Chains A and B, each alone.
Chain A
């Protein structure tokens, strides 16, 4: 039975001057799954997110979302279609409170008016457990900032959500809390792609992983499979040498 994958890339390529950051990258994400993307530093993981989200255009290849090509669409259009992402270094909007940050996603990603957006944002704050939503963002902890980031992405009503190193900088309790939030999202039928460095998180959250190195996929499979893969081990260890 053929079902169209939610996201599919075909031979995706991104060149920066003489450097090929991403090459011959083909993978797909099915509806409702949680996919992990791992790989050593500089492997191109964030570039992949930027390409799919529309922050940078590909220099080759195609991106298909819900079966249609989106690689020529600007980022905001892709947001309307249902692609959302968080950032590795959180990017809160400084002149807003936490609630207002989330409202931005609802206003422009979902197209709501001010009243609706406020209601949506409040609901999301409940979901992700963010009680101090009226505080300006320069007053928030790292954990809360990451929640604001997720909240803003959620408010846009995405079908596909990229989480870029969400757990970085969190302690064990906070990480557990975040994992619970991500599971909540999956229950809401949001397809999630988790880009992570922390293997324990990848092992717990994801059903399937792809491993990137030097801009291409060197392995795919469950966490257990890729963790045992020789090329993967070499990629990580080799980079440490």
Chain B
């Protein structure tokens, strides 16, 4: 069975899930697709050589802007999702314009602070945002229909996968890799580094905003602590690391694997189960920097029993 056939089967299975899966299962995979999308966007930014810790911040920004649009301006929920993404993109543009001129640690730590800064701002504007206790929206997306919500997030995830794949086959891929490998060589060869970094930051942040907006509409609720939760940074990060960075298949695989694992973890370790993600991050960086997919591929290739087509399927 070729790689393409396997993928089509997976997509069909995933698409038809609401037809036979129960509500718990659906919600688990719903969550997995949310995290998968975030993980892909985190990886896409990482491909430029810049590590963004701002995933949760832009996610929350999209969530709140969409919530405010619906609650205070009567905007249609689906439109608000688009606008939420746009808003996150604009904020990312302004921020990136300021911060991307100095990169690496400056960029990373500034994005790390983003999440708490946005949360503080939201908390300090209680009349607008409901402050620390949050805001309930008049109605949930699709009136809470589990299947429709699932198909929406599935479509979003497919869209993000598509963007990630397109990216890896486009001219931009060359720019990004060149910047990551050797910025000076890239600049000397005519790559406008700042333009590409800004573009990637705005692109990935907009997607994060869209996902956040969808999340807010689905649960019809935003609240600083829950919406700006570090979970929306830690899990996507760990998922991309485990699955394999600088790829599309890595975050996808990592999201499914860790998504399932985290459900199990939540049951057995109510307090401090996030420590596992911390350990995962540390261990992956130390021992398996290229992630699970490539690790497995190399092991199997080393055994020498794998045929050419399957080896290609397991690689990237």
Question: Is there a contact between chains A and B in the complex with CB atoms less than 8 Å apart?
Answer: yes
Cβ contact within 8 Å between A109 and B174:
no
Indicate which residue in B171, B182, B190 contacts A93 across the interface (CB closer than 8 Å). Answer: B182
Q: A91-B182, A93-B182, A95-B181 are in contact. Are A100 and B190 (CB under 8 A)?
A: no
Cβ contact within 8 Å between A79 and B171:
no
Q: Is B178 at the interface (CB under 8 A from chain A)?
A: yes
Q: Is B175 at the interface (CB under 8 A from chain A)?
A: yes
Q: Is A94 at the interface (CB under 8 A from chain B)?
A: yes
B117 CB to closest chain A CB, in angstroms? 30
Q: Which residue of A lies closest to B193 (CB)?
A: A76
Cβ contact within 8 Å between B181 and A75:
no
Indicate which residue in A54, A77, A152 contacts B189 across the interface (CB closer than 8 Å). Answer: A152
Cβ contact within 8 Å between A95 and B187:
no
A209 CB to closest chain B CB, in angstroms? 24
Cβ contact within 8 Å between A96 and B184:
no
- Tell me which residues across on chain B come within 8 A of A95, comparing CB atoms: 177, 180-181
- Tell me which residues across on chain A come within 8 A of B175, comparing CB atoms: 107-108
A142-199 residues with Cβ-Cβ distance < 8 A to B are 152-153, 155-156
Interface locus among A26-34, A36-44, A80-88: A80-88
Cβ contact within 8 Å between A94 and B174:
no
A123 to B300, CA, bound (A): 38
Indicate which residue in B170, B178, B180, B184 contacts A104 across the interface (CB closer than 8 Å). Answer: B178
B237-294 residues with Cβ-Cβ distance < 8 A to A are none
- Tell me which residues across on chain B come within 8 A of A114, comparing CB atoms: 170-171
Most buried by B among A53, A87, A93: A93
Cβ contact within 8 Å between A55 and B184:
yes
A93-144 residues with Cβ-Cβ distance < 8 A to B are 93-96, 100, 103-105, 107-111, 113-114
Q: Which residue of A lies closest to B184 (CB)?
A: A55
- Tell me which residues across on chain B come within 8 A of A94, comparing CB atoms: 181-182
- Tell me which residues across on chain A come within 8 A of B174, comparing CB atoms: 96, 100, 103-104, 107-108
Q: Is A74 at the interface (CB under 8 A from chain B)?
A: yes
Q: Mark B166-196, 1 if CB is under 8 A from A, else 0.
A: 0000110011011011101111111111000
Most buried by A among B178, B184, B192: B178
Cβ contact within 8 Å between A156 and B189:
yes
A105 to B192, CA, bound (A): 12
A55 to B184, CA, bound (A): 7
Cβ contact within 8 Å between A104 and B186:
yes
Cβ contact within 8 Å between B171 and A109:
no
Q: Which residue of B lies closest to A110 (CB)?
A: B190
- Tell me which residues across on chain A come within 8 A of B190, comparing CB atoms: 76, 79-80, 105, 108-111, 156
Question: Majority SS of interface residues in chain B?
Answer: helix
Q: Which residue of B lies closest to A80 (CB)?
A: B190
A12 to B191, CA, bound (A): 26
Q: A104-B174, A107-B174, A114-B171 are in contact. Are A91 and B187 (CB under 8 A)?
A: no
- Tell me which residues across on chain B come within 8 A of A108, comparing CB atoms: 174-175, 178, 186, 189-192
Residues of B in contact, count (CB < 8 Å): 19
Q: Mark B139-180, 1 if CB is under 8 A from A, else 0.
A: 000000000000000000000000000000011001101101
- Tell me which residues across on chain B come within 8 A of A109, comparing CB atoms: 189-190
A188 to B209, CA, bound (A): 51
- Tell me which residues across on chain B come within 8 A of A156, comparing CB atoms: 189-190
B47 CB to closest chain A CB, in angstroms? 10
A16 to B302, CA, bound (A): 51
Cβ contact within 8 Å between A96 and B177:
yes
A151 CB to closest chain B CB, in angstroms? 11
Cβ contact within 8 Å between B180 and A76:
no
A105 to B188, CA, bound (A): 9
- Tell me which residues across on chain B come within 8 A of A85, comparing CB atoms: 188
Cβ contact within 8 Å between A105 and B189:
yes
Cβ contact within 8 Å between B189 and A79:
yes
Cβ contact within 8 Å between A93 and B185:
yes
A152 to B174, CA, bound (A): 13
B149 CB to closest chain A CB, in angstroms? 38
Q: Which residue of B lies closest to A105 (CB)?
A: B189
Cβ contact within 8 Å between B182 and A76:
no
A155 to B171, CA, bound (A): 15
- Tell me which residues across on chain A come within 8 A of B177, comparing CB atoms: 93, 95-96
A54-80 residues with Cβ-Cβ distance < 8 A to B are 54-55, 74-77, 79-80
Indicate which residue in A76, A91, A113 contacts B191 across the interface (CB closer than 8 Å). Answer: A76
A152 to B181, CA, bound (A): 15
Cβ contact within 8 Å between B178 and A79:
no
A156 to B178, CA, bound (A): 15
12 contacts between A and B (CB under 8 A): A53-B188, A55-B188, A75-B184, A76-B193, A77-B192, A79-B188, A93-B178, A94-B182, A96-B177, A107-B175, A108-B186, A113-B171
Known contacts A93-B177, A96-B181; 11 further A-B pairs (Cβ under 8 A) = A74-B187, A76-B190, A96-B178, A100-B174, A108-B175, A108-B189, A114-B171, A152-B185, A152-B189, A153-B188, A156-B189
